[in-house]
Each structure stands twice: as structure tokens, then as C-alpha cells.
Amino acid sequence: MSTVTRHALVAGETTLREYVSTGVMAVGAVLFLASWAVLFQWVGERTPVLGVDLFTLFGVLLLAMAAGIAGVGVASRLGHVSASPSASAGLVAGSLFGGIGFVTGGLVASQTLGMGTVGWLAVAVATGVAAAALAVVPREDVGSTLPAALFLALVGALLVTDTLGLGWSWSPNDVSATFVGSVMVPVVTIAGSLVGSWSAAKARAGFGTQGREAGAFYLIRLSVFGMLGVLTLLVGFIVKNGLETALTNAQFGLDGHLDLPGALFGVALPDWSLPFVDVQVPFVTNVSQSLYVDVPGLAPAILGTLWLVVGAMLFAIPLGLAAAIFLAEYTESRLFRQLVEVATNGLWSTPSIVFGLFGLAFLVPRFGGGKSLLSGQLVLGFMLLPLVVITSYESIKAVPDEYRDASAALGVTQWQTIRSAVLPAAMPGVITGVILGVGRIAGETAPLLLVYGGPPFASQNPNVLSSFQFTSSPPFVSNTALLDAGSALPYQLYTSITSGRLPGQGAPFTVQDFGWGTALVLLVVVLGLYAVGIASRLYFRNKLYNE
């Protein structure tokens, strides 16, 4: 008889095994979310649910998960449910459960049972080895369920008996930190729900290769959700703290006028208005400090950031793109190419404060001796340059040689080939690089402190466009706004952290609120720059392939 086991080609009806495992995973997901909610205090830890303590309920649910997993595992081992387990759960599961066993055993021995150092270490090693052995030695259906079930049962029992609960706290001798129950309970519940769900995911697919596939896929999905969760949390936190400030005295209506003062854009346009839409957000359109301003706003900082980014891009993109074209298409020397690559990579990882220092020592004395917008633009341009070079070079290199051959075979010159065949194909990549770089420099604070930052709360917008002056003698054109110090969003955030209080009186919010509002607007501006970049990348890609 063959040693190859055969299974049905077509999955039959949903089996008991699948029902139980799915239930366990669902309970795990609920526990996972609830624990995070407790950790972030969206749900109070003393909230009674269904007549019992929240943490007791956690314990009961963990016990239920344990029972479900163990039941499926044992039933599969005894042949009561259909499954296709491997001979062993494998070393990965073994070391995972071994580690969990070591930590749990050690903690229980030292904390709950109160053993000394030698005692808990011995117990920890013993439980670790036992858990690993339990995972590796038996067949997979037992090996990947029983250790998990034991862990869940232990945690659940601790919670139900209130051994680990709100009253619990632990201050390790050598560490100046205290672990309290209200944090530790959700943390161990999260750990328990993850381990239990992983085990259940394997059981649900019937163990074996399918089970491993399901388990691995479960872990990958979990990581993705974790990443998205962190992002959402971060953005949500900033929005929650800053939204109220940002919308102070804001008006949204459909019956008024959209008044956009031309002075906002620094041009002497007549103030214009759109009928039927009325949007006023004083926090965004006001200056930060003025006698007649009741809501201190961010207009100088927003415009400052935008001008900085525009100036840096005007400086860095032509230079960087030209350098990348030269490196990728013209230079023959590998040594030179590697040298430039090393130099640009080094430049990219240079700390921003060093760029700022260079600007302060080299640029500031040459532009009238004071901090200025121009110095800020150039310093940020220096910072943007290496990334533009690196990404443009990579994307030009990635353009297939077939385009170059085809063009050359038509008798088209190298420059025309680059312009008409290579650059259009490389454009989406180049733009990706610029987006990344702009995202970085728009949030850059350190160099601005040194070369650009003016008064902590600016009372004037940078009027770059209206400040151009033409004269009949050299240099023929000058712009005082470019030589003024000013504010930018990250700089504004820094000053609102360090300045202590808002200038003037009667502001409807504190300086902390002002700072949160600034953070929110900074986030929105950076995301807006990203959106512009992504839109232009899509435009060029579309032009390439879907014309």
C-alpha cells in the first residue's frame, strides 16, 4: 500500500471542525479588538458586560477558545473529524510554543507562586522544553493545538480567578517601571487571541500543508492589519486632537460667498467671491499674530511651507534629473558611476541638521546675513537632490533597452532618443522619487530652525509673487520676500511646543491646542502634496500605457 495519503479532490460540506475553528477565530478577533479598545481607553476596564467584569469575560472567552482548539485537536487525533495533519507541527511552531512556555512558566513561578531566582528559572526552562516537546513530538493536529490551548486556558484561568486583574501590579526590582493589571490584562489577552486564532486557522484548513498555508496567510494578514491599525491610530489621534482647533469659528454653508482675499496668494488681485458657497476656516487663512485677529491662524506657515517646497523642487529636479540622465545614459566609466552613487547615497543619509548648519555657515552670510526663505529653499533643495538623483537614475536604467535600440535603428540621435523614448517611460518612477523627497522635506524642521525660522508667531504672509521688483540697474530684479525669515508648518509646531503661550490675549484656544491644530494641518498639507504627486504619476503612466 502506498504511503501517499489521498484526500477528496472536492471539499465536501462544511465540517464540524470548520465550524468550531471559525468560531474560535471569531472569538479571537473580538477579544483582539476589545483589548485594543481597552488599551486605548475607548472602553473602561471596569465596564460590566452581561453582568460580569470585562476582564472576567475576557477570561471566560479565552477558556472557551482553549476548549474549542483542544477539542478540535483531540477529536482530529482520535479520528472523529476529518483532517490531513503532518507528522509533526514542525520546529517553527515548536520554538514559538517553547518561547511562550518559557515566559509563561517563568512569570507564573516567580509572580504567582513566589519562587526565587533559581526556582523560577528552572521552572521556566522546564515549561519551555515541555511546551516545545508537546508541539514537536505528537502528530500535528495535537502538536499545534494543545500547547496553544494550554496557554489560553492558563491565561483564562488567571483572569477568571482574578489572580491577574485590576488589582494586580508588578514592580520588578531592577527596572524602574511598574506593570499594572489594566495594561497587562489586555496585553496577555491580545497574545492569547493571536496564538489561539493562529492555531484555529491551521485547524480550520485541516492541518497539513493546507493548514500551514492558512496559518502563514493568517499571520501575514494580521501584520497588514497591524500596520494599517498603527497608521489609522496615528492619523486618528492627530485628527482627534487637532480638529476642534482647526475648525475654530469655521463656517460651512451654501448660502454665502466664498471670499478669497487676493492678498493670500501674494498677488494684487481684487478679492473675489463665489456665490452659493460659504467656507471660512480662520485657522487656515489667518495670520498667527495680529492686533485684529481673534483666531490665530496658520496662513504664514502654510504658505511658507509651500514656497519652501516649490523652491526646493525648482532647484533639485532639473539638477537631479540631468545628473541621473548623465549617469544612466552618457557616462561610460563604471568607477565614476559608482563614485556618484556612493556620494548621493551618503548625501541622502546625511542628518538634516548638518544641512542646516551648512546653510547657516555658507548661505546665510551670502544672502544678506539674515535667515531667509531663499536659504531655506536651497537647503531643502540640497536635501531633495540625492533622492531625485537616485530614483531617477534607477527608473531610467529600468527602461528596456529595446526602446533605445528601436530608436537608434531609426537613426534618431541619442538625445532625441532619451527625450522622446526613455524619459517618458521613466517619468512615473522619477515622480515617485520626487513625491518621497517632498514628503520628507515638507516636514523637515531642524535645518529651518537655523536658516529660515523667523518670529515664533508670524504676523505676515510671505508675499513672494508680489514682491518682485524690477529696476533699471543690475541686478534688474529683486525680491525682498525671498530674503525674509518666516514660518513653516513644522517650524510652527516646534515654536508652539517651545514658546509656552500664545501671544496676545483672547485666543479661543491654548498654545497646546494650537500645536495640535498645526500638526493636523501639516499632515493634511503633506498628504495633499502626496496626492498631487500620485495624481501626476497616474497621469504619466496612463499616458504611457492606456493612450
Partner 1 sequence: MSNADVSHQSTPAPASTTTTGETEETVRESWRTYDVTGEPAVAVEDLNVHYGDDHALKDVSMDIPEESVTALIGPSGCGKSTFLRCLNRMNDRIKAARIDGSVEVGGEEIYQDGVDLVELRKRVGMVFQAPNPFPKSIRENVSYGPRKHGDLDTSLLSRLLGRDDAEAEEALVEQCLRDAALYEEVADRLEDNALGLSGGQQQRLCIARALAVDPDVLLMDEPASALDPIATAKIEDLIGELAEDYTVVVVTHNMQQAARISDQTAVFLTGGELVEYGDTDQVFESPESQRVEDYITGKFG
Among residues 456, 462, 461, the alpha carbon closest in space to that of 518 is found at: 456
CB of 419 to partner 1, least distance (A): 9
Q: How far is the CB of 428 from partner 1 (least distance, A)?
A: 11
Would the CA dihedral through 242, 440, 321, 361 be positive or negative? positive
Q: Which is nearer to partner 1, 432 or 459 (CB)?
A: 432
For residues 185 and 44, is the Cβ–Cβ distance under 8 A? no
Q: Smallest distance from the beta carbon of 429 to partner 1, in angstroms?
A: 14
CB nearer to partner 1: pick between 232 and 413:
413
Per the CB < 8 A criterion, the answer to whether 378 and 311 are in contact is: yes
C-alpha triplet 301, 305, 307: angle, nearest 5°: 115
CA dihedral of 109, 112, 116, 122, whole degrees rounded to 10: 0
Minimum separation from the CB atom of position 322 to partner 1 (A): 21
CB of 431 to partner 1, least distance (A): 16
Provide the 10 A C-beta neighbour count for residue 121.
16
Considering only CA atoms, which of 509, 524, 511 is closest in space to residue 244? 509
Residue with smaller CB distance to partner 1, 80 or 543: 543
CA dihedral sign, ordered 463, 464, 469, 470: negative
Shortest spacing between CB 325 and partner 1, in angstroms: 17
- Closer to partner 1 by Cβ: residue 140 or 329: 329
Q: Are 203 and 17 in contact (CB under 8 A)?
A: yes
The phi and psi torsions of 532 (rounded to 5 degrees) equal -60, -45
What's the Cα-to-Cα distance from 502 to each of 155, 454, 512, 513, rounded to whole Å? 50, 16, 9, 10
Please report how close the Cβ of residue 400 comes to partner 1 at its closest, in angstroms: 8
For residues 498 and 473, give the distance between their C-alpha atoms in angstroms, rounded to a whole number.
44
Shortest Cβ 405–partner 1 spacing (Å): 7
Question: By C-beta, is 255 or 332 nearer to partner 1?
Answer: 332
- Considering the complex, what minimum distance in angstroms separates the CB of residue 338 from partner 1? 17
Q: Which is nearer to partner 1, 82 or 542 (CB)?
A: 542
Q: Which is nearer to partner 1, 229 or 400 (CB)?
A: 400
Interface positions with partner 1 (CB under 8 A): 332, 400, 402-403, 405-413, 416, 420-421, 424-425, 544-547
**Cα angle value 248/463/511 (rounded, 5°):** 30
- Residue 23 in grid coordinates: 468560531
C-alpha–C-alpha distance, residues 444 and 383, integer Å: 10
Counting Cα atoms < 13 Å in the Cβ hemisphere of 81 gives 26
**Identity of the residue, 350 or 420, whose beta carbon is nearer to partner 1 in the bound complex:** 420
- When the beta carbons of 440 and 541 are compared against partner 1, the nearer one is 541
